Structure 1
Amino acid sequence: MAMLAKVALRAVLKSSVGVLRESVALSVKPWTCSSTLLSGPRVGCGAGGFAVPPPVRHYARVAKKKKADPESQLSDLPSTMLKMDYTAVPLAQTTDDVVRRLLSLELASHSEKLQLKKEQLVAKVQRDENDRSSVAVRVAILTARIRNYQEHLQKHHKDKANKRRMLMAIDRRKKLLKNLRLVNYEAFEKVCELLGITYTFPPEYYRRATRRWLAKKAFCIKVFKEVQKQKAEQRLMKQRLASAGTEAAKIPAVETQ
């Protein structure tokens, strides 16, 4: 009986191993076959072979065209021009090529070029050589600074700090141009033409008249009138006291005579 039990157990184990091998063979995916690593179609990795698709060719993508850099306001400055600190030095004109190259704009920094551009714009609108505080000169300096911010933000559009500085400079220049337009219209037109500025009128202020806003406005007007009335009374009282003091000073003078 023991021998028969051992033979039956071996038969069951062999049959179970065969079933597991068949299930594993059926569950294997076609792309796990080693033939996919070879180039070209191949048929069959074992029993019940299958066709392997040809390899996919990944063609190169089209190269993206680089955007052209915006034209800078400093592009019209020649590289052979001397820096602003050395333009009035006569010795800089007669030096050799190496020293002259060091003193020219070819090796100058961006801030030095910007300073030279500011001086060029100021020279267009200033009244004389010593004019550094007129409205036209301040507009020219702000114009050079605003254009520099605009060129910077076209490359670095996420720079919020410089964007804020640019908007503040634009508001300051608008106020100066508005005052210049009211005071001297001919000078205003001349400055806009020389600096290439397009002046646009600000939009008209509009606010919807709600009941709350009307009530608040009426209350503010009423308070303003009361304050003006109190100031007028105080002014009148001071005048009366001053007139009474002058009359009192005149009476003793008459009695002594």
Structure 2
Amino acid sequence: MFTNIALRAVLKSSVDVLRESVAVSVKPWTCSSTFLTGPKGGCAAGGFAVPPPVRHYARVAKKTKKGPVSQLSDLTPTMLKMDYAAVPLAQTTDDIVKRLLSLELANHSEKLKLKKEQLVAKVQRNENDRSSVEVRVAILTARIRNFQEHLHKHHKDKANKRRMLMAIDRRKKLLKNLRLVNYDAFEKVCEQLGITYTFPPDYYRRATRRWVAKKALCIKVFKAVQKQKEEQRLLKQSRALSYIEAAKAQAAESQ
């Protein structure tokens, strides 16, 4: 019994000594002003300072690329559609109906038709001209610019890119022919539509040994054929002369 009492006293004294040593060595945690700087920042004595969640507010925003100015930007929304521009009743109708007939609620294709008519009016020869080279160049120019604006936004659209290149080639051929036939009309078209005509590059082909040999063979064959044709021509002439001489001889004998 006495031994149990002595053991309890020794354990109690050792526990008290440990508590005092821990109280002296370990200091309570305090809140750090570097972590909690907001108006609600604060913690109890002896607690840990928990930093706020980090948000990536310093991330650089992506800059939106500005596309080229659209060719339809000069069309005011109050303009009437192409089908109703020549109707006199559309000018004096109600405001609501006039708004429905205007470009404000029109789709892209209707605006493009009106732009084609504006470009055609600049270069056509007369009011009824719809099939001249100048008119076709104006229509192709409107289509090409429309394709360019579309491909600037959707650069992976291969089908429309092919159509644009075909239209450019067709317009280049028309301008080339117009330049040879009527140079004044060619200059007027380029000035009115804002087209810069560039000459095609000179033809260049790398001279390989196979190409040189083939060219020499073609030249040799061409010379041989020309020589043969010349011999046939001389033979025909000699035969014709012989026939003439024979006819003259017969005429002299008959006299």
Please tell me the TM-score bracket, short chain as reference. 0.5 to 0.7
CA contact (8 A) 1:40 1:55 kept: no
Of the candidates 97, 118, 121, which is equivalent to residue 120 of structure 1? 118
After superposition, what is the alpha-carbon deviation per residue over 1:136-182, rounded to whole angstroms, capped at 9, x for unaligned?
Answer: 11111110000000000000001011011111111111111111112
Measure the CA separation in 1 of the matches of 2:230 and 2:193.
50
Can you give the 5+ residue segments of structure 2 that lack an aligned partner in the other structure? 1-40, 238-255
Task: Tell whether 2:188 aligns with 1:190.
Answer: yes
Deviating more after overlay: 153-162 vs 229-238? 229-238
Counterpart position of 2:61: 63
**Pairing of 1:78-97 with structure 2 (within 5 A):** 78-97=76-95
2:215 aligns with 217
Superposed CA offset, 1:47-89 (max 9, x none): xxxx998566123234333333431000101111111111111
Percent identical pairs in the alignment equals 83
Change beyond 3 A, Cα 1:115–1:40 = same
Q: Is the 8 A contact 1:40 1:54 kept in 2?
A: no
Partners of 1:182 and 1:218 in 2: how far apart?
34
CA RMSD of the aligned region, Å? 3.2
Question: Which secondary structure state, in structure 1, belongs to the residue aligned with residue 82 of structure 2?
Answer: coil
The one-letter amino acid of 1:74's match is L
TM-score (norm 2): 0.67
Structure possessing the higher radius of gyration over alpha carbons? 2
Structure 1 segment 15-164 matched on structure 2, within 5 A:
54=51, 57-60=54-57, 61-164=59-162
Rounded Cα–Cα distance in structure 1 between residues aligned with 2:84 and 2:235: 68
Kept after mapping to 2: 8 A contact 1:126/1:136: yes
Query: So what's the TM-score if we normalise by structure 1?
Result: 0.66
> In 1, Cα distance between the equivalents of 2:134 and 2:235?
48
Matched length = 197
Displacement of 1:196 in angstroms is: 0.3
Equivalent residue, structure 2, for 1:47: none
Structure 1 pair 236–171 and aligned structure 2 pair: CA distance change class (3 A):
farther
The equivalent of 1:31 in structure 2 is none
Unaligned runs of 5+ in 1: 1-38, 42-50, 240-257
Q: How far apart, CA to CA, are the structure 2 residues paired with 1:52 and 1:238?
A: 117
Q: Which amino acid in structure 2 is aligned with residue 191 of structure 1?
A: V
